[in-house]
Structure 1
Amino acid sequence: MNLSSLGFTRPELVGLVLLVPVLLVLMLLADVARRRASRAFGGNAALSARSSTRIWIRSGLLLLGLASLVIALAGPYVDLRQRGARRLGVDIVLAVDVSQSMATQDVAPDRLRAARHVAQEIGIRMVGSRISLVLFKGAGTLRYPATTDPKILGEVLDNSGKGAPKVEGSSLAAAFEQSLAAFPTDADPRRGRAIVIVSDGEITLGTVPDTAQLLNMRIGFYTIGVGTPSGGQVPTYSDKDGSFTGYLRGPDGRAVISKLDEANLQQLATAAGGRYWRFAGDDSVIGQLGSELHGLEAVEPIENAGSVPDEKSQIFIALAVGAILIERLLSDRRRMPAPKVARVSRPRRGRRILGIAFGSALLWAAACGGAVPSAAQANGMFSRGDYQAALAAYRDLQKSAPEAPELSINAGNSLHMLGDYSRALPDYAKAIDATDFHLRAIAQYDRGNTLFRLGRLEDARDAYRETLRLDPSDRDAKFNLELVQTLLDGRRPSQLRGQPTNAPGESNSPGGTGATGATGANASASPDAGQPPGTPTGEQGDPTSDRTNPGQTPPDLKSALSSFRNGLTLDDALRVLDALQGQQRGVAQLIEGPRPADRQNPGY
């Protein structure tokens, strides 16, 4: 490469390079102003969040990208490329079998439409070549002489096999003879020539053609088999309206099965020095055929055709893109020292939540990647109070890991926070079936919280009992169980059912430790006798079937909670304080009333 001969195909754009020094001056002025502002506000402070070195590195990359882009637009070149030749193209004869067996549907949608696709793709890939179309069954017919318009090829074959010729049989010999006669007589002898036969290979008429003669004629010969070796029945259609009438049957009354005969097609291609492919919808076959046909193209030299610049714009475009990407990825802030703090132990409930979140992230990372939000992003949406978006993210994660109990718990928690309690229950029910006892305990605990919000205190009590059976050390579940039992002891039996759902804006249920929530049927409860599977227990009067305004709190539950808060004895107060000291975070909901929604954190 001789740099002394550097030139530009669009020299009028080279003047844009003057933008680089202009921007450099503006960057210097901005740096001076930034330093003055820093001294005015921070004095002589030793620590600064922004690094001057990083700022100038980013500025330099930006200027480099701009200069490279301007040079690329100007079209730089250092050499001239001679115009010395042009490609002559290939004369191709495409012979397509249109016999009755081509209506068989062992290749989607059927063999004839698959052959139509092959014909169109060959025409598109062989731009500059001329293609003749021959249709054959018992005899061959030149349907279209040499043309460079690939659309015509598809239009001729644009049918689904309906109205296929009633004359049974196919002759490859007739196709071969007609293809030889279809080549243009006025063609340049330097142009390459090729015959492509698209058929199911069944020969029921005539003999096997002698294709070896094509070797001396310097004509390429290729065959494409359409169909499957197992074959299929041959459909028949009405002559009047083209409607389906049944399947072709032989003299013995049995259905005729048409199979792909690869042996015949392979034999013909091998004898002529060509190749055979089976087409079953894979366009890579057409790509391989196109490569073979392009290899037959001749190149015509052109004298005194002049020269053209050999542009090297791609080098500067790549440099510009790389510099701009690095500039965007590089931060101008230095690593700041962080104060050391003493390590403190977290509450046990918090440790359980962290483990589930980490498990969900690992599960999602193993399942797939890229287009769907991660578990960490979904948890972040929940932390910000965007429960609807968090629910949608968890649902997307469940598409890749539908059996993950962690995701079911997270989705149920989101539904709970949206006030859709009944729909949260089926998600908890999925997690209850988990093999991990730890996850089952969490799911039962959150299910008990949601049942409490629905006013189903007996079911909530059973859920807390199951939590303690799985995890006897769960102090939250123990406290909630005692509290719900206290409420039950103060209520009449008629008040235990028929509660409307809670208000969406209220926080989680007693002892709630994280994000839980939703409306839906209780999938974990067993149906009563005579009820269909999936019907919640106690459907008559069940709060999930009493679809009243979800913005109202159950009156008897509300009064019971109020009595509990206002009527605490000294012993009860001491037990509550002891529970609070033990990080029983859900107790505040029952003692102090509903908490603001922004204090809820994602549970898992």
Structure 2
Amino acid sequence: MPEWILLRPAWLLALPPLAWLVWRLYRGGMTGSPWHRWIDRRLVRHVVADPAAGRRPRLALATALAALAAVTALTGPAWERAPQPLFRGDSALVIVLDLSRSMDVEDVAPSRVARARLKLADLLARSPADQVGLVVYTANAFTVAPLTADTATLTLLLPALSSAIMPSQGSHPSLGLEKAAELLDQAGLRRGELLLVTDSAGGPETRELVARLAARGLVTSVLAVGTAEGGPIPLADGSLLRDRQGRIVMPTLDEAALRRLAAAGEGRFARLSADDSDLDHLLAPLEGRAPRAAIEAEARGADWLDRGPWLVLALLPLALLAFRRGVLAAVGVVALIPALVGLALVGLPGTALAASADTLAREWQAVAAYRDGRWPEAAALLEGLDSERAQYNRGNALARLGDYPGALAAWDQVLARNPEHADAAYNHALVSALLAAADRQADADGADADGADADGEGDGEGAAGDARGDAAAGMGDTPGDRMGGAAAAARAALEETESLAASDDPQAQTDPAGGRLLPELSSAMDEPSGDFAADLLEQRLARAEGDPAELLRRRFELLYRRQQRDQDGNPTWPGDVAQPW
């Protein structure tokens, strides 16, 4: 037989006063009339008419049922128990994994990053802490998973982790450790364990950081991956990564520096091994505590499930009876009056409401045209609209057409109104940089052409005449065709960056001058921020088809563009701020 209990039985004290109110409602009748003072109570109902006499019993019954249901719900009836752990462990471990290109070295078979993934899978299978988080880093740090007790999900994400999913390159372990500390702070934990899996100790700032974290109660241990001999970094096309001087890069493992880093963080150091001796040493402080499952099994209770809220549903039919006939219809008519007036005003020419409706309709038409690739139509629909949003979207449409000066002018209007508009500022800086690069390229081509004319003046005149004729014949009607050589060169440069962004070669995606990564430039034009960004992002995520690596790469790319911080501003290896590995 199920056990019943009332979680809040004190609400039963409300039943006597409610019963008295119901009785007064039922017997009230003519007591409020002055005639009952002069006429006998047995005769008053026959002498004076009572219009509410027929409704009073039904109203009293409905009120009694509603009061009984409400009081019963407030008492909290319960007849089922739900098991609940009375103990929750607070041990936390955040894994900080290095995904720089040096982790692709094959001095430990099959590669450093592959061995690190296998070792982390063994670590997660041992469930060393109550909560485990995962952070990856290169020149920027990203959260793969916050603190969670679901280690099975983390294990499923491990095969997707590689240097190819990272939007930037370099090795900055201090950023990864800072991100790990943020995860612990967000979880409200004052103590925790950090496990750095890397082949590089970073610079002095990393040792200073782990010392500060240790003073806060965050212990940093190190799992070193690699060998002292090192090895070359293989690229996707089978070649080996070289530095700017053309020498093959050979990252080695500085075990002494990593040991000093672990000592500064008051943690433990281990070198990756084929057996579990490294994990036994690193996880000894965590596994020395009482097992989480055993503690929870001994300290579990059962909470009563409050079923009172379900009784509120019984009040809904009674609430419907409380409405008078025609009241809902009257309320609906009154509520529709403003909308009906607005619809009437929309058709009146010259009114502000009609103008607003027309503007909104044009913006929606422009959005649809942009999404269908009809950029001339989108730009034409947005022309003449003075809102900040319309000017920003018009600039995006003009940039798609190749009308870069027009796009810059539209974004200038946006920035003049709102200097904090980050998307317009980013697109403006991007197109300006492309035009500047195109101008430099055009100047260089002009210098080469002058040299060629000096070598052969006669042939040069004929070639120039043919070129002028071809240029005149090739003039189109699109804004991009009327812009001139610099803008056309900028458009060609943009298409070149898009083709480079689609390449799988990490070296091809790096600026030869050691500058920003080209995928950031191309994706900013391929995914314009603002009203159109959500649809394009949804399309790209749909193309990912559930591939964890692709999803992580897209997510990290978006976060990287928001951070607006690349390897030029972050020291990677001591003395070298632009090392792309």
TM-score by structure 2 length?
0.33
Structure (1 or 2) with the greater helix fraction:
2
Give the TM-score normalised by the residue count of structure 1: 0.32
Larger radius of gyration: 1
